[in-house]
């Protein structure tokens, strides 16, 4: 394109412009993606007329829910939210502990290949199963209790958190571990004092993030009846008691945002490393 510079005398040797690469693969991919998007619109049976009506409906239901919320239900809503958050918290702790135990041996340089690959494969399988499905499978054994929810969150959490764990361990700069090895440390000691102290802040931060995710998921798990705010929400929606639903939505949004804000602050503080403070003062 730049070759036709009229100002340059004809004698100037032609610039050795490298040939522009032909991006066949990229173009083919773009075409395929376009086709997939178009076909999926087809399959959804979209009723465009209803979309036009949506803003109107939103205002209508919004008024039903929030013009005169039934605040007498607030204590019950708070109690159920507390159950959901507990479910999320227990699920996060159990999931993180299991993920740490299973994720560290799955890291390259820690476990041998015959340990690593089956573990990674199991995490991938768990990741492929939605938490709700895990809960439905578990509740055949443990019944419709918040415990089922916590257990489902714990197992579902392994899929992602164990993956984060081995990825974090693998990303640890090798220096500290090399120093432990150089002074005669065994694999256990290398993991405990060479890898863990370096990876721990990030793993703790990810654990809190897991909790934040669980708070959301626990509300969804309520829909299948394991209790908590989600169960209450389904119930009142089905009875079309919009003034109660309004209260529930307000409570869910406020609590979730609060937890996100606090947890986010704590995570930032963990990652930045506190200002100089004495650790292990007890010794």
Angle between helices 229-238 and 196-221 (to 10 degrees): 20
Shortest distance in whole angstroms from residue 166 CB to another protein: 19
- Does 186 contact another protein by CB under 8 A? yes
Which candidate, 247, 253, 256, 231, places its Cα nearest to that of 74?
247
Task: Give 110-157 as a DSSP string.
Answer: TS-HHHHHHHHHHHHHHHHS-HHHHHHHHHHHH-SSHHHHHHHHHHHH
User: Quick one: which of 201, 223, 250, 264 contacts another protein (CB under 8 A)?
Assistant: 201
Q: Which is nearer to another protein, 25 or 182 (CB)?
A: 182
Which position has the token pair 């394109």?
A: 1
Applying CB under 8 A, which part among 44-52, 64-72, 101-109, 271-279 lies near another protein? 271-279
Applying CB under 8 A, which part among 59-67, 76-84, 184-192, 252-260 lies near another protein? 184-192
Contact (CB, 8 A) for 100 and 157: no
Applying CB under 8 A, which part among 151-159, 181-189, 209-217, 239-247 lies near another protein? 181-189
Fill in the per-residue mask, 63 to 102: x = in contact with another protein (CB under 8 A), - = not in contact. Answer: ----------------------------------------
User: Quick one: which of 111, 146, 194, 222 contacts another protein (CB under 8 A)?
Assistant: 194
Shortest distance in whole angstroms from residue 104 CB to another protein: 12
Which candidate, 130, 86, 92, places its Cα nearest to that of 224?
130
User: Quick one: which of 11, 50, 240, 281 contacts another protein (CB under 8 A)?
Assistant: 281
Q: Which is nearer to another protein, 181 or 216 (CB)?
A: 181
- Report d(CA 199, CA 172) in Å as an integer: 6
Fill in the per-residue mask, 149 to 178: x = in contact with another protein (CB under 8 A), - = not in contact. Answer: --------------------------xx-x
- Does 11 contact another protein by CB under 8 A? no
Shortest distance in whole angstroms from residue 279 CB to another protein: 5
Q: Which is nearer to another protein, 206 or 221 (CB)?
A: 206
Distances (CA, A) of 172 to 49, 97, 166, 202, 232: 55, 20, 10, 10, 44
- Does 113 contact another protein by CB under 8 A? no
- Report d(CA 204, CA 199) in Å as an integer: 9
- Does 181 contact another protein by CB under 8 A? yes
Contact (CB, 8 A) for 166 and 103: yes
Residue 136 CB coordination number (10 Å): 16
- Does 266 contact another protein by CB under 8 A? no
Which value, to the nearest 10 degrees, does the dihedral of the CA atoms of residues 125, 131, 133, 138 take? 100
Contacting residues toward another protein, per CB under 8 A: 175-176, 178-186, 188-189, 192-194, 197-198, 200-201, 273, 276-281, 283
């Amino acid at each position: 394109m730049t070759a036709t510079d009229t100002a340059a005398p004809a004698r100037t040797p032609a610039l050795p412009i490298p040939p522009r690469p032909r991006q066949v693969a990229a173009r083919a991919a773009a075409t395929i993606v376009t086709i997939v998007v178009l076909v999926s619109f087809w399959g959804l049976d979209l009723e465009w007329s209803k979309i036009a009506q949506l803003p109107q409906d939103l205002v209508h239901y919004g008024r039903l829910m929030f013009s005169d919320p039934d605040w007498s239900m607030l204590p019950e809503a708070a109690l159920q939210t507390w159950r959901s958050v507990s479910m999320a918290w227990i699920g996060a702790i159990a999931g993180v502990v299991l993920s740490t135990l299973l994720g560290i041996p799955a890291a390259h340089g820690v476990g041998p290949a015959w340990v690593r690959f089956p573990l990674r494969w199991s995490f991938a399988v768990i990741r492929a199963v939605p938490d709700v499905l895990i809960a439905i499978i578990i509740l055949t054994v443990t019944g419709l209790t918040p415990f089922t929810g916590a257990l489902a969150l714990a197992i579902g959490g392994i899929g992602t958190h164990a993956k984060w764990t081995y990825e974090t361990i693998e990303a640890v700069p090798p220096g500290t571990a090399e120093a432990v090895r150089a002074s005669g440390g065994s694999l256990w000691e290398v993991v405990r004092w060479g890898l863990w102290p370096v990876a721990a802040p990030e793993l703790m931060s990810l654990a809190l993030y897991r909790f934040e995710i669980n708070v959301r998921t626990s509300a969804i798990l309520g829909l299948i009846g394991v209790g908590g705010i989600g169960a209450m929400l389904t119930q009142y929606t089905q009875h079309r008691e919009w003034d109660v639903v309004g209260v529930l939505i307000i409570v869910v949004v406020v609590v979730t945002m609060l937890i996100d804000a606090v947890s986010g602050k704590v995570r930032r503080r963990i990652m930045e490393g506190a200002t100089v403070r004495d650790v292990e003062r007890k010794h």
